[in-house]
Structure 1
Amino acid sequence: MEKEDARFQKLEQLHERRKQVVRLHLRGTGVMEIVALTGLSYPAVRGAIDLFARGGWSAIKPACRGRDKGDGRLLNAEQEASVRRTICDKRPEQLKMEFALWTRGAVMQFIEREFGVRLSIRATGEYLRRWGFTPQKPIKRAYEQRPEAVKQWIDNEYPAIARRAKDEGGEIHWGDETALVNTDVRGRSYAPRGKTPVTLAVGGTREKLSMISTVTNQGCASWMIIDGAFNHERLIEFLQALVRDGRRRRKKVFLILDNLGVHHCKPVKAWLADHRRDIEVFFLPSYSPELNPDERLNADLKQTIGSKVPVRTKAKLRAAADEHMQFIAANRKRVRAYFQDPIVKYAA
């Protein structure tokens, strides 16, 4: 009879086999008879009986195999913590490294430079996995952006605006402008591997429209599509529409915009000064479009229009944009979802 090799059994199986051996032993069965009945080797049977004799039932539970947790690691706990903090707080370029992102190669090079420990790419990846780090597509952020200004906005400036809006019975609108063109095809198309799909270009003139819009965390969306240049006259026209809607609902408009030049021009400042009771405008930190929830509306609109068959005329482009904007405006839940993006959730 071929004997079972306990070394290749799962721990649960081995534990059950040892319990079987001990039960037979307690009934008075001899060792060689247990070997014949169980198919285990003599050392395995004898070992289980001896373990039971020394420590009882708890002693026969097999210990975990392999090396102890942490055994053989080249970085100690303090060094690991230092690397994790660095990845979270710094970019490679800030440490004068020739990497744009924290890749495994960048982390490997940093560890060797700081601690003199050379790891392989695979070992570096294992450390990252163990720390709970995963490869992710980074958020694009302007080089000129000042992190301290962003922190000041999130921690102090915006909460102050929110408190004022609540105290004065107002409503916070997040505004932004975007361009719509009839040649912007977005998304991916399935095709056989190695055969890149071709999109037919739109013939004739490239048509372009502009749109200014606002969203609120209550799910409201307002917009105006513009044929031609976006200037202070068009901006004031849109602001007038916001004020009319605010008066109808008896709510003052607290409008948050980016730092586009037209937002700061003299005619707009003068108009806002004359209508301060109905509307006030505040500005995001410079080079920080990711902080604006209305950017999500723009992405939603462009994705929808770009995934359809390209239109050939400006009228059809306007109709397509207006149709989707009406769909968005009628779907408050969709608008509120823009504010669930982790980057803008502070405004939710």
Structure 2
Amino acid sequence: MDVTTLLYVSGFLDLFGVSMIVSQIGTHARELGASSTAAGFVGSVYGALQLVSSPTVGRWSDVMGRKACLVPCLLMSAVGYLSMGFSYTLTILIFSRIITGMFKQSQSISRSMLSDITPEDQRCRVYGRFNSVSSIGFILGPLVSSTIIKHEGGFYTVSCLCGSVFTLNAVLMWFVLPSIGPTKKKSLHHNSLTNVMMSFKHLNWIDLWDIFLVNFFAGFSVMLFRSNSDMIFRDRFGTTKQDMSYLTSYTAVVSALCGFVSGWIASHYKDNYQLYKHMLYGLFVTLVALTLVVDFWMYVVVLALLSFVTTNLRVASASLLASRAGTGGVGAVMGLGDTVMSVARMLSPLLSGMALEVSSSGPSLIGSVMAAVAVVVVSLRSQLKLHQE
């Protein structure tokens, strides 16, 4: 089994384990006596820690080697998820989220390793397949947990199963995944956390800032819609919880299928930046359509288009970041990309909820404005580059 296939397997196990437990954490927090605010805080702990840990762990993987960081991150994630099964108090639950918030960086490290071993013209295809295989795990995980969680002690069983999946993943990667040397030579300059953080100033920010900025607005626009999509559907079409579970599975399946054709789509473009721009245009159009469409089944069709656009946008973005990071900086740049999305993920539920107070079309309307900003930034950047050339 080659390295690429092994990383596909790791990505599948990763999201298979996460998807079993992540949707149950809020409910478990309330069962422990947490208020809605306290339960929200439990969720925010993870995202807040990811802001710092994603780029830091990514930079360490540049220095120490991908495998040397991937295996410990998987093991510590296993500890975090296993400890949730023993969270008989809110304090223990928060402690478990702190562990996962600090070390759940396996997807980012895997993408960085794929970048190390894949030629630039093949990255879209590889990233697309990695995302698709991982998405299959995210589809299957809830199906497994839903049959377990309804029994007595279900949360304990699911968390132990999740931790076991991460342990299996770590053992598999330790014994089977070959070691690939660090992309950045170790030196005394990188022997402390402070120096690692200071090393970010040496990244090629001139070629990176526009992708980070556009990714923020694009990600924010999608999350505004998806963070409260259940309430949007309920208000506009009167859907039930069961209907929403079907729609969630539907969009996940569409995303997984789209990932397998990402490489074929990218091969029809002369460069990934053109693909990136066109997917941004598509994002804007689909969000406007979601604001205007009133028929349920047409809405479902547009949802499929949104999944298609966002899947290819993620692939093109990851490929651009990897190519612009240069030798020795892929891990740090991938981590910073995750940090940008974490900021959007933290802010979007609040703004989406406020928009819903005004109209059920509010989140998609504001999202289309955010997507328009992303389109303007990328268009101005393209014109500037053409002028310089």
The answer to which structure, 1 or 2, has the higher relative contact order (CA under 8 A, 6+ apart) is 2
Which structure has the larger Rg?
Answer: 1
Please identify which structure carries the higher helix content: 2
Q: TM-score of the superposition, structure 2-length normalised?
A: 0.21
Please identify which structure carries the higher strand content: 1
Q: TM-score of the superposition, structure 1-length normalised?
A: 0.23
